[in-house]
Amino acid sequence: MQIGYTYTMPVLERHQNSLTLDGGELGMLPLPAKEGGSAQVGDTLKAFVFTDSTGRPLATTRLPVAERDQCASLKVMDITNAGAFLDWGLEKNLLLPFAEQRRPVEVGRYESVLVYLDNSSRLAATSRLDHHLPEIATDYRPWQPVTLHIYQRTDLGLKAVVDNKALGLLYKDEIFQQVRVGETHNGFIKRLRHDGRIDLALQPPSEQLQPDLTEQIVAHLIDNDGVCNLSDKSSPEAIQTTFQVSKKNFKKALSTLYRERRIVIESDRITLPDEQK
């Protein structure tokens, strides 16, 4: 067992104010009795392992928003001489040292951070993600599904943490939905550049997107009395607002539906054929 992760552990002892859990190589871990419910000796409890201010391992059944080696957007609760303290779901807030802050933080604002184990074997947070996570990867393949935590906006687009393991980039002209810093989205590896850096996408390749998009367009027509006030001549922004796709993909979907005689394309809108209304 290691500090910073959640385990299922046996109850070794039960006292009036605490339980003792078997923490393996970490030794016996105290747990407040109020968190142990009715658990008795021999039962097992799912608990998170952390440390107190002296580095002593403790257990809690309250699970944090992010464990060690995971990223999350956490609210700044206080700022002291030691750094900022973040709400990560436990009674004791998580320290974000000044040296690990990418930018000055403010109480009440949220900051995207990685939870890590510092040199004193205590859990802490860092917003300097590029100091802890690589920007180069070789073990991903194009269009592999991944989880993306959006952590920074740049002139090129949005930087994201890929599966809590590496850093990649979403180009702003390839983002067709509302995405905010601090959010986590499902996405894809679009390509690995020649230097090993990762380009990302929020949507699958066009050939995978098209079947769902065509049905989405038809459903939109049905829900709106057979009329959609968009056409192949509409602006990319208008298409993006309604369907969260590029104009190129939208026009491909219209072509497919038109060939299948499932829609009628007019100059300023598309409609369902009379027999389908």
Q: How many domains does the chain have?
A: 4
User: Given pLDDT bands bounded at 50, 70 and 90, which one contains residue 55?
Assistant: confident
Name the residue range of residue 51's domain. Answer: 6-60
Is 1 a domain residue?
no
- Kindly state whether residues 216 and 195 are assigned to the same domain: no
**pLDDT confidence of residue 12:** 94
* Three-point CA angle 171, 172, 174, nearest 5°: 70
**pLDDT confidence of residue 253:** 93
**Average pLDDT of the residues in 119-139:** 94
The fraction of the chain above a pLDDT of 70, given in percent, is 99
Is 136 a domain residue?
no
pLDDT at residue 263 greater than cutoff 70: yes
Is 110 a domain residue?
yes
CATH number at residue 13: 2.40.50.330
CATH number at residue 260: 1.10.10.10
The pTM for the full model equals: 0.85
- Kindly state whether residues 18 and 48 are assigned to the same domain: yes
pLDDT at residue 277 greater than cutoff 70: no
Is 105 a domain residue?
yes
Residue that terminates a domain, selected from 155, 172, 201: 201
CATH number at residue 123: 2.40.50.140
Is 65 a domain residue?
no
